[in-house]
Amino acid sequence: MTTAAPHPDRGRHLLARAQRHLTWAMPLAYVAAAVVPGAGQWARNLPCGTLPLPVGPTTLTPQTLLLGYVLFTAALQVRTRELTVLLRRPGLLAAGTAANTALPLLVLTLLAGTFLLLPDADGGSGLLTGLALIAAMPVAGGATVWGTRAGGNHTLVVGLVMSSTLLSPLTIPLTLAGASAVTSGDYSAALARMAQVSGGALAATGVVAPCLAGLAVRAALPERRAAAALPWLKLLALAAALTLTYLNACGAFADLIARPRPALLTLATLAAAVMCAASFLLGWCLARALKAAHADAVALAFTSGMNNSSAGAVLATTRFPDHPHVLLPILAYSLLQKVLAGYADSTLARRGRRTGPPTRPTGPEAAAPCPATGQEAFR
């Protein structure tokens, strides 16, 4: 007796329902981390083996495994033949990739002068370190969902997500090295050490490898099988992303509840808001300076303002376990970039209707874009 495979239409229906509640699900994951941090603290310490790297063996954690699956599923949605179109116009792809690396680091440098004047030097440098980990990360896959909904060039957004991800073994160490110059004390030394020793290797194994695996599997799968499997894989990725959010938040919230620091929390939120909003705005200004078409300008704005905060949070929990406040700006950025993306979505979509039809994807994914791996994978 054989068991029938799950029907893709049912999977798409369940996925669509889950997507509608995603905006509320993420804050609920934060609330769960604040109310029941013990379960997350226990799960974070579960042994998951080690991974041999050129810089030495690295201990695998539930967070790294969850992030790997989410990144794999996000890349599984990309059809590489779409990206060949960008080779005919590499200028915007190069400009967008450079902007994703340079703009957050520019904003971080501008914020550093204010932070280092704070009486709480440890808190100020800790928040800067959290912002630096965001700035170092590649474009969030959520940009493919939000940018396309706002009328952006879908192919350009996907290309920028993939190019920034594949170049992350180079860009992450460069950004961390730059961030070490604007922080102080142990934080500066830790960022410099990560840039020189382990940043590139961690990016290659923890970010690039899952993405390449997803691209390879998608290229090998017949289109019909991929279309049938993707809704269910995306549902699992959504569950993994929510679990990852909960695990990442547990450490920071447990410490915040034990030692309330409302001023530090407020500052972390404000700094994350400034960095996120400025990155969106600078990306849009860059596109206008390049005289890009509206759809391309939307793509550059979203890819400049949305970084993979999940990867940054995993790096913070594994590299700064004794400084949980490093996570505060990362968690704030994770929520705020969705709020700003939603606002930009509604604003730019209205403008796009006046300037022409948006560039949207085609194929099986067009009927059901996936915030499950879009908003959370490469988040």
Structure confidence by residue, pLDDT tens digits, 239-276: 888 888 888 888 777 777 777 778 888 888 999 999 99
As separate numbers, helices (DSSP H) first and strands (DSSP E) second, the chain gives 19, 2
Contact of 288 with 298, CB cutoff 8 Å: no
Q: How many CB atoms lie within 10 A of CB 89?
A: 11
Q: Residue 260 corresponds to which amino acid?
A: P
pLDDT at site 60: 78
Helix axes 309-319, 121-136, angle to 10 degrees: 130
Give the pTM: 0.79
Contact present, 298 and 107 (Cβ < 8 Å) = no
Collapse the DSSP code of 129 into the 3-class scheme (helix H, G, I; strand E, B; otherwise coil) and give the result: helix
Contact (CB, 8 A) for 34 and 337? no
Low-confidence ranges of the chain (pLDDT < 70): 1-8, 18-23, 51-58, 82, 116-123, 198-200, 348-379
Q: What pLDDT does 273 receive? A: 92
Token pair, residue 156, equals: 């350009």
- pLDDT at res. 378: 40
Give CA 22 to chain center in angstroms: 16
Q: How far apart are CA 258 and CA 11, in angstroms?
A: 42
Q: Tell me what pLDDT residue 320 has.
A: 85
CB 295 within 8 A of CB 91: no
* Count of residues in the chain: 379
Q: What is the pLDDT of residue 224?
A: 86
Give the model's pLDDT for residue 361: 43
